[in-house]
Structure 1
Amino acid sequence: MSGGNGQHEGMGFRHSPTGPRVAPRPQPGFTPAPPPPQVQRGAGAQRPGFRWGRLGSAVFFTILLLSAGIRAYRDLSAPDAWSFWMDQYVSPSLSSTLVTNAEAGGGRAVLAVSGRIGPAAAIWLRERIKESQLKPGDVVLLSSPGGNLEQGVLMGEIIRAHGLSTAVGVADKGGRVRAGFCASACVFAFAGGQTRYGLDGSALGVHRFTSEAQGRALGQDAVADTQRVTGSILGYMTRMGVSSQVIEAMSQTRDIRWLDPGEAETMKLVTTPVKAL
């Protein structure tokens, strides 16, 4: 009785939830499955997807290059993009000389700018002003036959933003300022001066202006575009303190009209007549 109960009790303890687990005996003919292979982490090991990762990065980088190239091609294929790029990076149409000796400008620095006003002239001038470390009251000396109307206006805005003065003339290697001329779009750059010096013998020339937009508008709505440009120019000259009389003088002729010193002063284009800088 005790033996039977003990065997029964032992079996009950073995299958009890709180009793010790006993590993089941393997069935005859059963072969356990081998363990899964370990992934090697050595130097020569190849990670899954490694080749595809590098290939995907190369494809992505190639797509970026192609998209940038297409964008650059579209930018340079615009009507004025190539000339702008050339004027800014390859062969600027303007040149400059910094004069710092006391013989010019009454002790002020003078940045002598000469040449035709190209499609990137405003950016070029801003960089030259920064390089020259011009301070308010320093002089931008202009000598130019004109060029791009919009760039001339932007040059004037930059000159005014830095509190610089303007004059018309050229500077020789000795720092002496000689008489010069400033015509067409150059007059708008000159108008940006906080003080506008009228050098004895120098000349300002005006004529009927045309913008790039006006040229493209021919045959479409040239009259409306001319009115828009005229309003913008008039607003600019008014902000610079120049009389609207200069706009009237511009509209009278296609040829250059050279203003005499009295006219330039009456129009408030020249604020300070001087014999020499």
Structure 2
Amino acid sequence: MSADDCQDGAAGVYRSSPTGPRVMPPQAPQGGAPPPEASRRWVGGHPSQGLFRPSFWSVTIFALLLSGIGIRAYRDLSRPDAWDYWRETYVSASMTASVIPAIDIDGSGQSRRALAISGRIGPASAGWFRDQLDKAHLSNGDVVLLSSKGGSMDQAGIMGETIRARGLATAVGTADMSGRVRASSCASACVLVYAGGKPRYGIKGAMLGVHRFTWKEPIDNPVAEAQRMQGMVLGYMTDMGVSSAIVEAMSQTAEIRWLSQQQALAMNLVTTPVDPR
């Protein structure tokens, strides 16, 4: 029998190979294990028409991870300051600001640009304050006018350091757009902002109030925390050139203690008294 007869007799089962003898072409498997693709579980029939069905454990692990993230987020947002920070950052700031093109705060006849800020110092006030300074385009020697009952001590310290880094002066007061300055009040954490100025103008009739700092939330060791905070305030005030006597004045009362101008001068809290008449 010829090779052609053998090929024809087998109904074309064999075919010639370009590099060797005739070989059997690939055929579909008959029975046995299905191909790897068939072992997967698909939703919707054919693999091209459905979605891969995840295993029970993968779903469980994903749910646990998601719940862990949710719990941590809830704990963070459940803190009162977290909601205040979110509101101040994205909704409405707790302080307001206005730019005064020119004021003669010390009666020297030299006009200075000023930024007047007022309101409660909130948990996001430091970032807000930097933005306001950038928009106001204050330069070295310009003035920040303060009018506030206080608020966050940490934010106030950052605001004071920002004032010092930019070479700005501070005063407790307000001003209209004509540049006329009026005395105001600055208490509690606001005093830390005021201390950042160089010089620190003491407008006649302006009020500076200090008191012992307190906490909104309960803490484990109030005595240790009070000592830590007192040390921090002492270090800050010393860096700003204010006498350590101010820390003693703060620690003596939980209520606001308004300093006379003579007391503020003796502590070097006020460096330049002025009478804007």
TM range (shorter): 0.7 to 0.9
Judge conservation of contact 1:149–1:210 (CA < 8 Å) in 2. no
Deviation at residue 235 of structure 1 after TM alignment: 0.6
Paired residue secondary structure (1:96): strand
5+ residue gaps, structure 2, are: 16-24, 27-46, 53-61
**Which residue does 1:251 correspond to in 2?**
251
**1:236 deviation in Å?**
0.6
- Give per-residue Cα distances to partners, 1:224-253, cap 9 Å, x unaligned: 111011111101111111100111111122
Q: Give the deviation of 1:86 after TM superposition.
A: 1.1
Task: Report SS of the residue matched to 1:233.
Answer: helix
SS at match of 2:96: strand
Stretch deviating more after TM superposition (181-190 or 245-254) = 245-254
Gap runs ≥5 in structure 1: 1-23, 37-47, 54-61
How far residue 103 of structure 1 moved from its aligned partner, in angstroms, is: 5.0
Q: Does the C-alpha gap of structure 1 residues 52 and 160 become closer, same or farther in structure 2, counting only changes over 3 Å?
A: farther
Instruction: Describe the SS at the equivalent of 2:9.
Output: coil
Summarize the alignment of residues 55-70 of structure 1 with structure 2, pairs less than 5 Å apart.
Answer: 70=70
Matches within 5 A, 1:18-97: 25=4, 27=6, 28-32=8-12, 70=70, 73-97=74-98
Asked if 1:206 corresponds to 2:207, the answer is no
Say which of 178, 181, 184 aligns to 2:185: 181
- TM-score, with length taken from structure 1: 0.73
Structure 2 residue aligned with 1:124: 128
**Identity of matched residues, %:** 52
Structural mapping, 1:92-241, within 5 Å: 92-101=93-102, 103=104, 106-212=110-216, 215-217=217-219, 220-241=220-241
Q: Give the paired residue count.
A: 232
RMSD of equivalent CA atoms: 3.2
Higher strand content, 1 or 2: 2
State the alpha-carbon separation in 2 of the partners of residues 26 and 199 from structure 1: 120
Question: CA contact under 8 A between 1:195 and 1:271: conserved in structure 2?
Answer: yes
Any idea what the Cα deviations from partners look like across 1:154-180, whole Å, max 9, x if unmatched?
211221222211111001232311111
Compute the displacement of 1:52 (Å).
6.0
Which sits farther off after the overlay, 101-110 or 244-253?
A: 101-110
CA distance in 2, matches of 1:100, 1:50: 69
Structure whose alpha-carbon radius of gyration is higher: 1
